[in-house]
Chain A
């Protein structure tokens, strides 16, 4: 996995962590306009797309490590 992939992975993980906090915690009773339950679900659908790319990066890393191991 390249440095850039590594950064991207970390970047996405922190986003996931962030989403969990900003969507589900904090003051919820405020606002004339707020996210509906359906909206929150949509965010998670979008997030799953993100997560699947995280999983892909993980797999790539494992393959790279395995390849490196085979070479040594």
Chain B
């Protein structure tokens, strides 16, 4: 062995990547082989008092601050690590409740990680208590403008008239009428966003342990052409079926208004981490 090779190896110091925090007594039996952000190391549970960190060893060459900035520019690396982070958390979630950490939470040593678990024991336990037996579900609602207009026309005289006129008029005049129709529809959709948004949130919240509206996503994020009119996250436990039933009746009620719903998750409860653990 050359001395150079030895130096390279000794420089490859290992740290710990923390995915999330679970209760130490939960002793989950989940299969995470090969899922870790560094596939060479297994996911382990590091118990410290009543809590345990879901963690795996990582090379600090790869995850040190200076290195990170460079790695992030590598889309392939980034996607791989983000998916690994999420997969470990989802696998954990399938067995036990978990408080998820942000992507790229790394400790230089096991003792530093343990110190975090003991120093933040109280807020972490409170956070865990809040999500125990529950998962996060995401709800999105989109409006299809054409179907919305078709649904409005029988009730909204102004829309009906503009629609008929723009269909019968000559091209130049029809253009102006169409513009007016577009503006009118925009303001009606705006109104729908407020009224339906409030209604949807209130009714879903009544069937969930907790919930919050989230920022609406642009089409390039949502991947749908239709305009998003509602986006929310809900903490749902054993009453998951009631929650889905509530969503089902909302979908049926709003179908005529051209509104479509989408349910995502179960997610690790990223949106339900208390403020205290979010900001330093």
**Do A29 and B270 have beta carbons less than 8 Å apart?**
no
**The residue from A27, A32, A58 contacting B107, defined by CB atoms under 8 A apart:** A32
Is B156 positioned at the interface, with any CB of A under 8 Å from its CB? no
**Do B15 and A46 have beta carbons less than 8 Å apart?**
no
Complex CA gap A33/B112 in Å reads: 11
Contacts of A29 in B (CB 8 A): 120, 276-280
**Do B277 and A33 have beta carbons less than 8 Å apart?**
no
**Do A42 and B69 have beta carbons less than 8 Å apart?**
yes
Complex CA gap A17/B221 in Å reads: 7
Contacts of A19 in B (CB 8 A): 82
In whole Å, how far is A26's beta carbon from the nearest beta carbon of chain B?
Answer: 4
Q: Size range of the interface on B?
A: 35 or more
Is A70 positioned at the interface, with any CB of B under 8 Å from its CB? no
Complex CA gap A51/B222 in Å reads: 11
**Do B106 and A33 have beta carbons less than 8 Å apart?**
yes
Is B267 positioned at the interface, with any CB of A under 8 Å from its CB? yes
CB closest residue in chain A, given B64: A33
Known A46-B75, A54-B223: A18·B279 in contact at CB below 8 Å: no
Is A3 positioned at the interface, with any CB of B under 8 Å from its CB? no
CB closest residue in chain A, given B214: A20
Q: Interface SS of chain A: helix, strand, loop or mixed?
A: helix
**Do B267 and A21 have beta carbons less than 8 Å apart?**
yes
In whole Å, how far is A62's beta carbon from the nearest beta carbon of chain B?
Answer: 9
**Do B223 and A9 have beta carbons less than 8 Å apart?**
yes
Interface centre among A9, A10, A15, A34, by most B CB within 10 Å?
Answer: A34
**Do B223 and A13 have beta carbons less than 8 Å apart?**
yes
Is B99 positioned at the interface, with any CB of A under 8 Å from its CB? yes
Query: How many chain-A residues does the 8 Å CB contact rule pick out?
Result: 37
In whole Å, how far is A17's beta carbon from the nearest beta carbon of chain B?
Answer: 7
Contacts of A20 in B (CB 8 A): 221
**Do B21 and A27 have beta carbons less than 8 Å apart?**
yes
Per-residue 0/1 for B93-127: is the Cβ within 8 Å of any A Cβ (1 yes, 0 no)? 00000011111111110001000100010001001
In whole Å, how far is B27's beta carbon from the nearest beta carbon of chain A?
Answer: 21
Contacts of B108 in A (CB 8 A): 32-33
In whole Å, how far is B107's beta carbon from the nearest beta carbon of chain A?
Answer: 5
Interface centre among A20, A25, A55, by most B CB within 10 Å?
Answer: A25
**Do A33 and B278 have beta carbons less than 8 Å apart?**
no
Is A38 positioned at the interface, with any CB of B under 8 Å from its CB? yes
Complex CA gap A51/B278 in Å reads: 27
Is A67 positioned at the interface, with any CB of B under 8 Å from its CB? no
Q: Which 10 A-B pairs have the closest CB atoms?
A: A13-B223, A25-B270, A31-B105, A22-B103, A33-B106, A26-B100, A26-B102, A27-B101, A21-B270, A27-B277
For this complex, 10 residue pairs linking A to B, each with C-beta atoms less than 8 Å apart, are: A12-B223, A23-B102, A28-B102, A30-B120, A31-B106, A32-B108, A33-B63, A34-B104, A35-B68, A35-B104
Question: Which A residues have a C-beta under 8 Å from some C-beta of B?
Answer: 9-10, 12-13, 15-36, 38-39, 42-43, 46, 49-51, 54-55, 58
Task: Known pairs A29-B120, A35-B68; list 6 more (Cβ under 8 Å).
Answer: A19-B82, A31-B18, A32-B108, A33-B65, A39-B104, A42-B69
